[in-house]
Structure 1
Amino acid sequence: MQPKIGNSMPSAAARTTTSTSRRSSWDENEGSASGRDSVLTSSTASLQPPQDRFRRSGPGLLIFPGTAQGHQHNPNGSTGSKTVAKANDENVSINQQGPARSIRSFRRPPLWQRPPMDPGEGQEKQVLDRENPRESYSACLVKAQAFIIEFLQGSSIHGFIYLAKLGLNFVERMLWFAFICVALFSIISLSKRTWHRFQTSPMVISMDRNKLVWNTSFPSLTVCPHKRIDELKVEEYILSHPDQFLSEEDQEDFRDFIVKLASLTYDNLETLPLNKSYGIPGVQYLDLLYELKWPFEPDISSGTAVKMYIYETQTEFGICHSVNSLVARYNTLNYWRSGEWNLLDHGDRVTVHPLDGEIYAQIINLSTAYDVYFHGAGDVPSISKQRYTFPESDYTTVEIMALEIYTNEEARAAKQRSCRFIYEAEDMLTVPIYSFGLCLSECRMFFALQVCGCVPHFYRNLCGYNHIFGTQMRNGRRLPVCGLEGIGCLVKIKREIISLKSDKYKINCNCLANCDDSNFFVQSHRSRVWFLGANLQWGIGGGGYPKMQLRRDVLFSFADVLVYIGGLVGFFLGCSALSFTEIIYYFTARFVRRMFFN
């Protein structure tokens, strides 16, 4: 029994007729000439856009040549012309007539298409496309403003919250802003004063009266004999240079000239004859003085536990001898000629204790009158200090009173403690150690070089760049030594050189005191005639031991600076170190995240 087909379901023939009619109408729309005469190859078909292939194969159908064919019925119901397309046949017309084949229709799979765009995304993209740089800048300002308001509302610093709190009018906000500005100004001004105090005067000098727990340095001295030229050596020099001394008057004038040159210092510059140089340039003055010097070789003995030595040294007073000195060996002629810059071994510092009783040292065989300067072991005689003169026939005893000052090494910066240790010689240009007396000597030397263009012969003329007077020289260069003309120039400014003060010239030596310094004062001295020649005895008697000792200690350290400034910040703004950490965090990591990654 065959199934009954209702009117609601069209027959196969009707469907075929409908499909054929649709395809025929599509072919008519495309044009009969182009539809019938075009030749389709496999490469051409693959290069065509999908829309063209879709239209040629009919809506919703994909025709595979050889397996499926489209057909249409004539009104009589018989099979008419068939359309066959083979992709592998290059010369087959699309509408070629062929034998009847079976029809297989396949639903065409959907082509890939871009997923539909979200309406919101499309609108945002359109908005961004319409934006201009001014609008982008405005958006950044809005973000920054919102970020600052968030910081003010969440900050732990007192008063900041009222700048962004809701419900306040403009006057209230300005009032709180003024309070915050006054607090910040007070913090900054008081902190600057605190920091200035830490940089300039963080030290305090205290007195220690427990004299039994510390030792006292034994006083050092420098002896400068009055007789410095050997007459026999001068006669030999005159005989060996007959072309320079043509008459007896010249020879006598030279004897007077060389004696005054050996004793030349800033006090007696005007006593040197400047009328004749005898063919001797200024650079040879020092070598000539050492060649003709009188053999002054005193002996020393002491009652101290540590042996003391006496060294020949060159000073601003000429050739002298220093006892118990740490810097005298750096001013010897041999050290200067060698061009050395290394530190020398000085041994242990000679000290005494009140329980040791009276301690004296003695210099014998002086054989001439002499000048003596008492100073500390780390210093040199200065022209501004007092000197004592003793005759050649007296036995002199000098009792000295000591006063010492020591510095705590916790204060590292020299500017803070206003002193220098002996090893802080970065600014020294003639010796590798620091001494207040040596610093003053260098200052006088460069002042003379600035004004007169030369330096006296009793200085080491081997140095580098001077930061005080702006004199630029390389290490190893010999400075010009003053001859007779240069000494005449020094006579005019000798008062400025001695005092290092001038209304006409700018002098800024920047010489700091010795951190560990010993000051000695002559308490009493007595002399008696001695048949064995001039002898000198000096030392610390029972009453010469110091009753107190001065110490430089750190009173205001860096930790005190932090505590003081932290107290100011806490008092005026009520914040702590974590509040500053919060500010750093907000305006670094959080700011970058909110502005660029949110």
Structure 2
Amino acid sequence: MQQEENRSLDSWTDSEDSRTASTASLVQQQLKSTPIRSGSRVGPGLLLFPGTAQRADQRRAAKEHQLQKSVSNANAEQDASLNRRKANSIRSFRRPPLWQPPAIKAEAEESLKEEQEEQQVAPLPYLAKLQAFIIEFLQGSSIHGFIYLAKFGLNFLERMLWFAFICVALFSIISLSQRTWQRFQTSPMVISMDRNKLVWNTSFPSLTVCPHKRIDDIKLEDYIEAHSEKFEDEDDKEFFRDFIIKLASLTYDNLETLPLNKSYGIDSSDYLSLLYELKWPFEPEISSGAAVKMFIYETQTEFGICHSVNSLVARYNTYKYWRSGDWSLLDHGDRVTVHPLDGEIYAQIINLSTAYDVYFHGAGDVPSISKQRYTFPESDYTTVELIALEIYTNEDARAFNTKQRKCRFQYEADEMQTVPIYSFGLCLSECRMFFALRVCGCVPHFYRNICKYTLLLSLSVRNGRRLPICGLEGIGCLVKIKREIISLKSDKYKINCNCLSNCDDSNFFVQSYRSRVWFLGANLQWGIIDYPKMQLRRDVLFSFADVLVYIGGLVGFFLGCSALSFTEIIYFFTARLVRRMFCN
């Protein structure tokens, strides 16, 4: 009997031991099989919201503590069962091996439920990786101040304070950099004075002579006889003579003097060809003491048919060049220059045979109606003494655009419509021409009426439209706006010529002139007796290298970073970001 009771007690104890051992093993397996999710522990949390990561750490620590407590309770029960096996002899029965105490099962279900809830509110894997990547970048960045946005131990107020400091630094950098770039775009050049007069040469003054007599009387009479059917009587012929003479001398100053009552059957498009058919043969001769020979060219100006000396642009305004439809560049040779060691150098025009107007200008320019002109009679020998002021541009300035240097070289003629080269005077002439076209619908006959380009389907087509020539009605319209045309200023109309000065320019001013009666006819002598002691020079003051140095100094002053810091940013957010986000 005693032996049976001992066997029953041993059986009960073995069953209790197996139950306790199975419970401990299940708890340990649950502890081992509980995964630590990649999204639950990726870093200290978002930069400005560190509480999210702290709450996740607290829940994970509580779960681990419960599991460890369960394991320790199971071990304690196992030790108690060993002691009871020695003390008790009651028969026991075996329980199923998968049976769990109700308390352990409830704890496991509660842990599984919390895990599912955390999975529902946990961020996406890519978002968590991106969060960890940004924190890693801030902690390892070489830019000053970024490390304090992700440093451990700082509260929310401290992070916001450092974030504000960084924003102020970035705003200062952007604001001052914009000013620097604006300065580089608008005024990178400086005009300085050069007083070393023995080093550079001075351009010899160019001039344009416009004779008062434009029509040959013999040719005019022949034309009247050949077209006698156009005239009613002798008075009509006399009115025609007056009309042709005033048409040949027509300019913006005397538009109102032209008779507008009768056109005599002459179409406005034939005005210029008729004037060249009837023009008086003005053939002056020129001589100079310069080493380079000077040439005199016939040219069409806003004052009619004139002649220019030592000009690089006069031949582009000849009637022959216009009629041929040519747009090619012409060889004028070099401009005539003189040196202080050459002494006093004069040039003279002889055999003028008529009264004339004179306009002094640079070799790369044309006479302008807004500038002063000098009138001399046909019986005087006139000597004019001039002073010069020149400005030239350094070769380094060619790398800048026209808006930056605020001048144009002769080859920069993209916006010119009637000539293949650029000149400040030619640009003003075109501006007056197109202003007249816009207001009156026609252009005066002393302009080239064929545009170089025309717009066709948003493309520039060479040798474009032909502009209408102003007839009597159009000239009457020009009379009303002639002040606006001459000054290119108007309160009623918007005028924007966009004409820049010549980069290499010469300005001449009449210092003195004297005239005396000369029995051989009108002669004109001009030259420089007092060489300029100063020359203006356009140099580069603020280059692109200066812009880089200035902006780099601002970035280094406010953020303490360099070019390698920007390389680091590019590396982090390209190669390293792709590797962290898409590679395991």
Instruction: State whether TM-score is above 0.5.
Output: yes
| Pair 167,303 (structure 1): closer, same or farther in 2 beyond 3 Å | same
Report the Cα distance in structure 2 between the residues aligned to 1:350 and 1:159, rounded to whole angstroms: 65
Any residues of structure 2 matched to 1:125-524 within 5 Å, and which? 138-411=124-397, 412=399, 413-464=401-452, 475-524=463-512
Name the counterpart of 2:107: none
| Pair 264,147 (structure 1): closer, same or farther in 2 beyond 3 Å | same
* Residues 325-334 or 473-482, more deviating: 473-482
Name the counterpart of 2:552: 566
Conserved 8 A contact 1:369-1:534: yes
Report the residue type matching 1:558 in the other structure: F
Conserved 8 A contact 1:464-1:472: no
Report the Cα distance in structure 2 between the residues aligned to 1:136 and 1:196, rounded to whole angstroms: 49
1:373 alignment partner, SS class: strand
Q: Which has the larger radius of gyration?
A: 1
Report the Cα distance in structure 2 between the residues aligned to 1:484 and 1:461, rounded to whole angstroms: 17
Shift of 1:528: 0.4
Report the residue type matching 2:551 in the other structure: I
| Pair 591,135 (structure 1): closer, same or farther in 2 beyond 3 Å | farther
Report the residue type matching 2:396 in the other structure: E
Report the Cα distance in structure 2 between the residues aligned to 1:349 and 1:457, rounded to whole angstroms: 30
Shift of 1:138: 2.4
Shift of 1:173: 0.7
Report the residue type matching 1:448 in the other structure: A
Report the Cα distance in structure 1 between the residues aligned to 2:291 and 2:285, rounded to whole angstroms: 17
Report the Cα distance in structure 1 between the residues aligned to 2:240 and 2:122, rounded to whole angstroms: 94
Any residues of structure 2 matched to 1:528-543 within 5 Å, and which? 528-541=516-529, 543=530
Report the residue type matching 2:264 in the other structure: Y
User: Alpha-carbon deviations, 1:497-551, whole Å to 9, x = none?
Assistant: 111111111111100000000000001000000001000000011x2x1010000
Shift of 1:249: 1.3
Report the Cα distance in structure 1 between the residues aligned to 2:424 and 2:493, rounded to whole angstroms: 22
Report the Cα distance in structure 2 between the residues aligned to 1:164 and 1:255, rounded to whole angstroms: 95
User: Alpha-carbon deviations, 1:230-281, whole Å to 9, x = none?
Assistant: 1111111111111211111110110000010001001111111101000111
Conserved 8 A contact 1:402-1:521: yes
Shift of 1:137: 7.4
Shift of 1:475: 2.4
Shift of 1:314: 0.2
Shift of 1:135: 8.6
| Pair 199,134 (structure 1): closer, same or farther in 2 beyond 3 Å | farther
| Pair 580,471 (structure 1): closer, same or farther in 2 beyond 3 Å | closer
Conserved 8 A contact 1:391-1:534: yes
Report the Cα distance in structure 2 between the residues aligned to 1:473 and 1:571, rounded to whole angstroms: 53
Name the counterpart of 2:49: none
By percentage of residues, which structure has more helix?
A: 2
Which one of 575, 579, 584 corresponds to residue 589 of structure 1? 575
Report the Cα distance in structure 1 between the residues aligned to 2:127 and 2:192, rounded to whole angstroms: 60
| Pair 317,177 (structure 1): closer, same or farther in 2 beyond 3 Å | same
User: Alpha-carbon deviations, 1:336-371, whole Å to 9, x = none?
Assistant: 111111111111221000011000000000000000
| Pair 286,170 (structure 1): closer, same or farther in 2 beyond 3 Å | same
Instruction: Please tell me the root mean square deviation across aligned C-alpha atoms, in Å.
Output: 2.2
Task: Calculate the TM-score normalised by the size of structure 2.
Answer: 0.78
Report the Cα distance in structure 2 between the residues aligned to 1:498 and 1:465, rounded to whole angstroms: 26
Deviation >3 Å, runs of 4+: 133-137, 464-467, 470-474
- Percentage identity across aligned positions? 84
Report the residue type matching 2:441 in the other structure: G
Any residues of structure 2 matched to 1:95-110 within 5 Å, and which? none
Report the residue type matching 2:516 in the other structure: R
Report the Cα distance in structure 1 between the residues aligned to 2:300 and 2:572, rounded to whole angstroms: 66
Conserved 8 A contact 1:429-1:466: no
Conserved 8 A contact 2:419-2:452: no
Shift of 1:414: 1.2
Name the counterpart of 1:578: 564
Report the Cα distance in structure 2 between the residues aligned to 1:489 and 1:245, rounded to whole angstroms: 27
